[in-house]
Amino acid sequence: MKAIYDVPAPAKLNLFLHITGRRPDGMHLLQSAFMLIDWCDTLHFELRQDGSLSRQDLSEPLPADDLILAAARALQHTCATTLGAHITIDKRIPTQAGMGGGSSDAASCLLALNRLWGLNYPVSRLAQIGLALGADVPFFLGGCNAWVEGIGERLTPLSLPPAQFAVVKPAQGLETARIFQDPALERDCEAAIISGFAARPYTYGVNVLQPVAQRLCPGVTQAIEWLGSQGLSGRMTGSGSAVFAQMPNDSALQTAPAGWQARKCGNLEAHPLAGWAPSDRLSVGG
């Protein structure tokens, strides 16, 4: 049976996250820097001739209808193929963490099925499909670290120095919608510029979602304090609840409290699947 095995789906960290306003439809306008890290899910794909789409979970069980199957259905509908796939996933990236695990899985699914079904769609076409699934999906399709604007669809490639990071997910998770709906959320940050960020990429700016998240989820504060006890300056990624801190290359991370997930991660220069689809342009927005 034709198959594609060991397809990685890496997590990301938001090095900072500012909100500069809102669109008329209520969507928030963001500025951020997304960085790929080597904390990955792994997916496997087997071709089905009957057009069916199915999924098997090897570790943490996922919802019956998740972004992986949504991405597969969206691509199948777009290309009108009669082929299907059986998808197996080994889920390692924490959920409700702000690390983009679901969006990354969807992006790797689109890239793998684009190859498995022989479609040869360019990145921009896959990104248009991906944007309808989630604002972070185009980033994971883009193949590199990126300066992110708009609602997440305007991407500018970034080159970042190699570094190591402590990444910690407390037991509690956070739903993104709760953060963005909170009336206390700061929504009027001054516009940032890439040159200011590039001068100090790992200490630049703030995550404006963090104060709201810390009020809603005590685990965020506890994780930041745990990193602080090791001499590390933590901040939250995305809408949380995971936090991270740059750490020396030669140091080790302490054992995390029970129920937490923590590991030392390196950043990635490029997505492991970069080049799996023809590259035309990174941005999929106006």
pTM, two decimal places: 0.95
**Residues 204, 224: Cα–Cα separation, whole Å:** 17
**Residues 267, 171: Cα–Cα separation, whole Å:** 24
What is the β-pairing status of strands 53-57 and 84-90?
Answer: parallel
What would the CATH number be for the domain defined by 3-157? 3.30.230.10
Question: Which are the catalytic amino acids?
Answer: 12, 136
Whether the ω angle into residue 241 lies within 30 degrees of 0, i.e. cis, is: yes
CATH superfamily of 164-266: GHMP kinase, C-terminal domain (3.30.70.890)
pLDDT for 281 equals 56
Strand, coil or helix: what is 17?
Answer: strand
Q: Please report, for the chain, the start and end positions of each structural domain, with discontinuous segments joined by +.
A: 3-157, 164-266
- Which helix (H) or strand (E) segment is 216 a member of? helix 210-216
pLDDT for 1 equals 61
pLDDT digits (tens, 9 = 90+) for 93-106: 999 999 999 999 99
**Residues 245, 210: Cα–Cα separation, whole Å:** 14
pLDDT digits (tens, 9 = 90+) for 15-42: 999 999 999 998 999 999 999 999 999 9
